[in-house]
Structure 1
Amino acid sequence: MSEEKEPECVKCKSRTSAIWTKTESGEVCNECVVAENVKEKEPPPPPPKPPIPQENNNGPKLATRKSTRTTRNYKTRLNPYALPKPPKGKGRRIIFKKSSTKAPTAVVTTVTSDYVFYKGSYIQVGDIVSMRDVDGDIYYAQIRGLLQDQYCEKSAVVTWLLPTRTSPRPEKGFDPSTYILGPEEDIPRKLDCMDFIMHAPSDYFKAKNSPYPTLSSREDGYFIWTGLPSYERNGGDR
């Protein structure tokens, strides 16, 4: 009876194994088969990294790697050829905000009146006032109309009174019987530049012999002239 030859692994030359596998080159032990299967399942090792070049201070600087990440490049003063910046949308908080409205432009409205209360006394239409120019000369006028705006600024439209030969000098006083009606002004003047002289009827100087005739003419001989003393006009006491 012939003896059977013990198998021998063609790879590791081992003769002891629980399981033998037959291949074209011969029999292979179980340990070599398991090792070969594990080796096939392992991923291949990564390729070696290239060495990082060291920066040379004396030589030219090496070009850095450009990033491939896409970034938003908006149009600025230094880069006018970039894409324009998209418009910013409104957030959800806009529904809780109230739209602001601009205040309207203030318009001065004036109101005409026959009398106004100014500096503790009533100024009426027809009163005689005096005004002084930049040279110090005094001129007399009669109030033709009174105006007051919404800011309580009071002004008056006057008719100038012209003196005659019998009129005293303006510095000495005012005599209404010696003055005649003069030109009328259309631009109002503030009451701050006027000094009250006396009360008078509004049509007293509208006589027929006036060099500046007006529409109506009526003489009133029953009017009592009233005026403030000089110390009251100056605001002092004797």
Structure 2
Amino acid sequence: MKDSPMTNQIALITGASRGLGRNMALHLANRGINIIGTYRSGADEAKSVKQEIEAQGGKATMLPLDITDTASFQAFSDTVTKTLATDFHREDFDFLINNAGNGLFANFADVTEGDFNSLVDTHLRGPVFLTQKLLPILKDGGRILNVSSGLVRFTFPGYSIYAAVKAAIEVLTRFQAAELGARQIRVNAIAPGAIATDFGGGAVRDNEDVNAYVAQGIALGRVGLPDDIGRAVAAILSDDMAWATGTTFDISGGQLL
């Protein structure tokens, strides 16, 4: 059963077929928000998310997108426009969540230009130019949510470039909020701490020793779960948080305070 149903609102979530993106989609759908999700290669996973949302009475469409392929963004935007018209009878959408991402564990001295380019393309260039392409069909008064990382605030060796790119996203979020305020578009970011997903090979989720080691540095005494992030995203995008913009929300359970 859905909580606080909303009328025909639509969230576009990149990387919605798995991990945190999947959880965000499910929690938003549970609040009555329609979902346009993207996936890169996991068509079966995307289909599963769509079916789960529809089984609960929601509506979802899943579209392929490679967030690193900026040349494809105009065609993707055109597809979204057509999808809005045919599937949702809308000309615009309400929420954009720039979630799609990848991870890299490598000490700074060992990072290659290929590693660097992959992280920049995925976590910075992609969100910048995808958001730019989608702005004309993002509703005035809509919301953008970027995904940063707790690694901007605290350090773990091996994540220097990943964290640096996420730091850029937090700065970008503030500038987007300032520049898009005239359209009453709120722009915020979230900075998750350690979450038990398949990120980084799933070590935090699957390795008991790693899980326990990370948990001892978290004020609330455990690593995060996907539901911790999905619930937070639904709350941040709700009207209850309508006066927040240009902010990065730390959602880490108090990791390494």
When the two structures are superposed, what TM-score results if normalisation uses the length of structure 1? 0.22
Higher RCO (C-alpha 8 Å, min separation 6): 2
Structure (1 or 2) with the greater helix fraction: 2
